[in-house]
Structure 1
């Protein structure tokens, strides 16, 4: 009997796994977290002639109606008002009215919960008075950069991955009896044993993830607020339903098929409150798509478990209808999975606009590639099944199972990221050859006057062999600092050099940066994608050069 093709498909899986791993760890210059700040008034690190009457912060996703706050502190660390912030009716902006402010530097600190329950905390500085020395701390840049850096959340990604595995294997195995009772009855004792084990694993993984999410939620809130956060937010509602339902799975499932189906829908209904679906503008539509997507994934998982646990030989006995049923169910599930995923992605990214400019979009493409391979593998499984060559240890079944774990791993990460590329104020930090470079563009709107800031840290204390570091030992300031902008959408337009001037700051010894530069003007003349390049030159004309990309939006957006 001829063997199915063995080597080429595994190579495809290895290649896919490598690409997935690379994309998981590569930083996305325009990636963002949940409910990203898209506009702020006054803008971060801006210098105003007159004091503002209010702080207004706008975000790209709906916010929870609990757990949000804005505080404004003066230079002495004292709050300037005891009033509380309020949400706009669309829950995409929050504002805090201010009393009359004197000239000086002020720190805006805010925290919120995305509509999917994930916490966001950040702060920034603005200055009132053109002659006031700026208090440039780049708190926003460092906080936003560190909090959502993928490499620093590996334990959390693992917990999410184990949870998704538990969610799908438990519902997939229970669902097997709902649509294919003959398969579960082939060995009822084995079916019940695995049902208890998988339901238990799902409950344990759910509790671990809930504890980690609660740890994120409770930061910054006193004990009196935590109970309200648990039962008054989407993520709290999700866990309030999911945990009891998961626990009841030990007793409710495995008795009546209609109850099994109802239990699965309850599990997915609870999960739908914990994700981007409830943060989107058309929340009802994306919520339904999310539940449909999970159902299809569960159906596919159940088919995989059927072949792995029940066994190909047992399924193909007599007329082979059981194996054919599983194969057909898996094919339908993957088709629904692909369609629902693409529709959801199109909604989240406004028709795939700027898909490649966010970590979410890049991972989405890898997941799509994995689903394509699943479809190809499924076709080979069905062909082997019809020819009677499919075995328990078949290469095609192993590939299908491997792709399942690849897809679940990607899902664990990208469902926690924001589907939209950030278009708000630019906060960028990078360490190059031991030197910290930071740049801020605010408010980052095309066609209006923007403020540009570049800061350099570690220049005085650096030591090493490069010319830049050698001159740093002599406490010499950089000879020249250049901020260059290049329109990517209009490459025929020559690069624009922003004329930077040294910035007088308060000389905070705790600051990460030794030298600060600023400029103001209408240098972002067009909306769209831009390349930002920073060059730092020492006295020997050696340069440190680094760059990133960002989007500038129209003033009306």
Structure 2
């Protein structure tokens, strides 16, 4: 094998390895969509001595002022509220006034659209009257804002990846005529054909993504409300603008450079209406950063495509100024990408607070690592370019393209996830050795009384013949169930054992959980990060352990 071929093979394998390594971050993880429920009054699974006067739901991001609703149902399934829910001026909370309620269990059902385009539909249960037997709703912060198991949503991530790739490729290629017209003229007919193909690819991916998103958004809405979704929400306007603009690219682009630039900015302007930028407290700031980030990504994509389609040799004919200019443009684009991306991430995460505690944050770090490698690859590309040894199949060009694909893959997923670590009511579920264990803490507020519930299901022993026997614990359930809390921020404080008592299994997914153990008290005395450990011991002294971490904030931090 020649030295050149070895270099190309090594770079290609490195790019494939990096892409695979980054993709392995996705399956199995849980990422929450927006907006996240930060506080609910009454709390999910809460027990109240006095009936509440209203339902108040608070979220971590701005909400759309269209398509939201709250309803409360009694134990017979009849609605109890006669008025409609209203949204507060900050667009982060919803309120539904309630008439006087008698003792009993009530179900709260709500729906909303976060300002970044994500639909939320959820429900939970609360109980009025201390003597009323509660109904366990098995609710959680994650479930209340549409829990996403990333490995189960791969088809959707693929569609989003195709959309981002098509958007940047089409805009980047059209953009060549704006800042490097000589390159487009040198390629000639090949430039025009590639432009049409990339615009068509982008339009097809956009339509596919719009169809999937609209299917999610329109569930539960009648025809008149669907018009509000299209013309009265950020995500609706995004598609209303983006689709005709993308289609107009076939005729609008390739004629005048000003029209090319306008087409690109209209596409990016529409994209900015559908994403995290619109959910931030100051959307004009994050929207501007999003536009800057997209423009930089467009420049990088255009340079990569120029080297791939035209080839370095054609770009370096004559004085070679085109290739040098494109290389410099790509370097500037990467710098802008890094700066704008970090600035935006700092805003979304309150100064990178709890960055590693969310799937979004971990993917953000993976993307940052890929950008570092891109800078390294770019340095070698520029060195090869100066020495006149850069070719279309250059190992470093292949590596750079592989990194671009990896970044697109990460972007497709983490732009749909919540940048903030989940707070509010906690639900932790894990399947261990065939058993389902869930731990619920609600309302999960430090310094106040919380309800604690551990639910257990599937504790069956498998006999030597392969048949499931009766519960190894008998009818009385496990021998011992322990819930232990440890304040991670205060290691000098010993773990706190939360005393649990067996309670009847009422409602919820009875086929999943067989036993409930609950208590209430002020065991979360301090705000901050906590370690939760559940130990389940059966009659044969076999022990199952599950561990997770979570945040408990006090009232002033919410």
The TM-score bracket by the shorter chain reads: over 0.9
Secondary structure of 2:32's partner?
A: coil
Secondary structure of 2:157's partner?
A: helix
| Residue matched to 2:533 | 533
Equivalent-residue separation in structure 1 for 2:103 and 2:356 (angstroms): 43
How much does 1:20 deviate? Answer: 0.8
Equivalent-residue separation in structure 2 for 1:472 and 1:221 (angstroms): 48
**1:337-416 correspondence to structure 2 within 5 Å:** 337-416=337-416
| Residue matched to 1:82 | 82
**1:272-287 correspondence to structure 2 within 5 Å:** 272-287=272-287
How many residues were matched structurally?
Answer: 553
Equivalent-residue separation in structure 2 for 1:435 and 1:411 (angstroms): 35
| Residue matched to 1:442 | 442
How much does 1:82 deviate? Answer: 2.9
Whether 1:270 aligns to 2:285 is no
Equivalent-residue separation in structure 1 for 2:142 and 2:60 (angstroms): 20
| Residue matched to 1:150 | 150
Equivalent-residue separation in structure 1 for 2:470 and 2:529 (angstroms): 36
Equivalent-residue separation in structure 2 for 1:472 and 1:128 (angstroms): 36
The verdict on how the C-alpha distance between 1:385 and 1:131 changes in structure 2, with shifts beyond 3 A counting, is same
Q: Contact 1:448–1:524 at 8 Å: present in 2 too?
A: yes
Equivalent-residue separation in structure 2 for 1:453 and 1:134 (angstroms): 12
Equivalent-residue separation in structure 2 for 1:508 and 1:11 (angstroms): 49
Aligned residue among 1, 16, 19 for 1:17: 19
Q: Contact 1:175–1:264 at 8 Å: present in 2 too?
A: yes
In the alignment, structure 2 segments of 5+ residues that lack a partner are none
| Residue matched to 1:27 | 29
Q: Contact 1:137–1:511 at 8 Å: present in 2 too?
A: no
Equivalent-residue separation in structure 1 for 2:217 and 2:471 (angstroms): 46
Equivalent-residue separation in structure 2 for 1:176 and 1:262 (angstroms): 13
How much does 1:17 deviate? Answer: 2.4
Equivalent-residue separation in structure 2 for 1:276 and 1:507 (angstroms): 36
Q: Contact 1:234–1:273 at 8 Å: present in 2 too?
A: yes
Equivalent-residue separation in structure 2 for 1:510 and 1:427 (angstroms): 17
In the alignment, structure 1 segments of 5+ residues that lack a partner are none
Equivalent-residue separation in structure 2 for 1:507 and 1:268 (angstroms): 48
Secondary structure of 1:446's partner?
A: coil
**1:379-528 correspondence to structure 2 within 5 Å:** 379-459=379-459, 463=462, 471-472=471-472, 474-506=474-506, 510=510, 512-528=512-528
Q: Which moved more, 1:270-279 or 1:432-441?
A: 432-441
The verdict on how the C-alpha distance between 1:356 and 1:442 changes in structure 2, with shifts beyond 3 A counting, is same
Q: Contact 2:122–2:143 at 8 Å: present in 1 too?
A: yes
| Residue matched to 1:318 | 318
Equivalent-residue separation in structure 2 for 1:233 and 1:49 (angstroms): 39
Equivalent-residue separation in structure 1 for 2:478 and 2:494 (angstroms): 25
Secondary structure of 1:94's partner?
A: strand
TM-score (norm 2): 0.95
Secondary structure of 2:388's partner?
A: coil
Equivalent-residue separation in structure 2 for 1:525 and 1:11 (angstroms): 52
RMSD of equivalent CA atoms: 2.1
Secondary structure of 1:493's partner?
A: coil
1:3-27: CA deviation from partner (whole Å, max 9, x where unpaired): 5955765565345324312211242
TM-score (norm 1): 0.95
How much does 1:555 deviate? Answer: 2.1
Equivalent-residue separation in structure 1 for 2:463 and 2:372 (angstroms): 49
The verdict on how the C-alpha distance between 1:446 and 1:340 changes in structure 2, with shifts beyond 3 A counting, is same
Whether 1:47 aligns to 2:47 is yes
The verdict on how the C-alpha distance between 1:493 and 1:12 changes in structure 2, with shifts beyond 3 A counting, is farther
Secondary structure of 1:91's partner?
A: coil
How much does 1:32 deviate? Answer: 2.7
Secondary structure of 1:342's partner?
A: helix
Q: Contact 2:33–2:118 at 8 Å: present in 1 too?
A: no
Equivalent-residue separation in structure 2 for 1:408 and 1:478 (angstroms): 48
| Residue matched to 1:172 | 172
Q: Contact 1:122–1:139 at 8 Å: present in 2 too?
A: no
The verdict on how the C-alpha distance between 1:110 and 1:469 changes in structure 2, with shifts beyond 3 A counting, is farther
1:444-465: CA deviation from partner (whole Å, max 9, x where unpaired): 1111111111111223x66457
